[in-house]
Structure 1
Amino acid sequence: MDYLFVSDAHGDRAVLGKIVTAYQNKVHAIFYNGDSELPADDELFNTMLPVIGNMDFDAMFPDDRQYHDATIDIYQTHGHLYQTELNLNQIRQKVSTLNIEVVTLGHTHQLGAEVIDNKLFINPGSIALPKGPYAYIGGTFAILTVTADTLQVQFYNRDLRAVPELQFSFPR
């Protein structure tokens, strides 16, 4: 089962539309981790599961989301409400008592995938304004593939191409 995570488009609706068109029937769910700068009633969000970012001003976006299906339990937020630009301590405390396997967030514009406190944290980076050591890629999103034994994260660029050196596998 595959799940797509994208964040921080900052008004670049075209790239979000391209991702939705390419993946809406290929992944189980598309999570949008905030800072779209679009209204919550934009038709793109009929296909995506959005949360509010610090640059979103439509109060109809939720602050966070707990997602559950037969395959995975996911906690989604943008990150600004937990000061993730400083560290992950506040969000770690928030999710410590939740029965979830994956935490997904954005806000920092830096991609990452790592297990902390027995939970996989995934930041897809920014699809429009990337920062950090992978900024040269020009924008990224991530797909999580869930199997019985592993959680596999593959990062993609704006051209919807997998970035070979950004593929990670974590045991379940």
Structure 2
Amino acid sequence: MRILVISDSHGNFPLALKAHELAGPVDHIIHLGDGADDAELLAEVLEVPVLRVAGNCDFDASLPRELILEIGPCRVLATHGNHQGVKSGLSFLIERGIEVGAGVILYGHTHLPAVQIESGMLLVNPGTLKQGFPASYAILTVQHGEPRAELFNI
């Protein structure tokens, strides 16, 4: 499975669409918040399932704050990260990942792209698509039960 992971588009739908174009074929898109309207537009114009969580700048009360997904044998926690205080460190995010038994944690909020292993979990922040910032996205691949992530600049 190949998944495009984006976050923090903040109304920059054209760049979100560009990320999809550059990513090539994907099975899903996950938008990690602060751009719920952009994610909704992607879902309307693309034939790819788009999953989304609410960020601190999204005001749709029906959006979940986090998703727990099963991708093959891999459990994925997707969240914006503001409720876990990721701008001050990843300890609460890691604690939440352990609590739900995640092998992968996807988060945004900091606008800083990162891929790292912590406490046996793959942590992925795709960065931001916000105008005026260096734009980036991530591709999460799960093959044979093994997750792998790569970051790409736009």
Q: Same fold (TM over 0.5)?
A: yes
> Aligned partners of 2:123, 2:140: CA distance in 1, in Å?
11
**Structure having the higher Rg:** 1
Q: Is the 8 A contact 2:112 2:125 kept in 1?
A: yes
**Deviation of the 1:109 alpha carbon:** 0.3
Determine the C-alpha separation between the residues in 1 that align with 2:121 and 2:22: 29
Map of 2:139 onto structure 1: 143
- 1:97 partner SS: helix
**Residue-by-residue CA offset, 1:81-106 (whole Å, 9 max, x unaligned):** 11110011111111212222100000
Instruction: Give the structure with the higher percent helix.
Output: 2
Q: Percent identity?
A: 27
Q: Which whole-Å deviations, capped at 9, do the CAs of 1:6-55 have from their partners, x for residues lacking one?
A: 000011011123334565x8222211000006287x34245311100011
Cα pair distance change 1:5/1:78, threshold 3 Å: same
Larger RCO (CA under 8 A, 6+ residues apart): 2
| Counterpart check, 1:116 vs 2:118 | yes
Return the offset for 1:128.
2.0
CA distance in 2, matches of 1:37, 1:120: 24
How many residues end up aligned between the 2 structures?
150
Tell me the equivalent position of 2:152. 156
Give deviations 1:96-136, integer Å, cap 9, x for gaps.
12222100000000010111111100000112258xxxx6x
Tell me, yes or no, if structure 1 residue 26 matches structure 2 residue 38. no
Counterpart of 1:67, as a letter, is: L
- Map of 1:1-172 to 2, 5 A cutoff? 1-20=1-20, 26-36=25-35, 38=37, 42-45=40-43, 47-128=49-130, 138-148=134-144, 150-158=146-154
Unaligned stretches of 5+ in structure 1? Answer: 159-172
- 1:39-84: CA deviations, max 9, x gaps? 87x3424531110001111112110000113253210000001111
Distance 1:58 1:88, change over 3 A: same
Query: When the two structures are superposed, what TM-score results if normalisation uses the length of structure 1?
Result: 0.77
Q: TM-score, normalised by structure 2?
A: 0.85
Partner of 1:85, secondary structure, is helix
Structure 1 residue identity aligned to 2:98: S
| CA distance in structure 2 between the partners assigned to 1:71 and 1:94 by the alignment | 19
Give the RMSD, CA atoms, in angstroms: 2.3
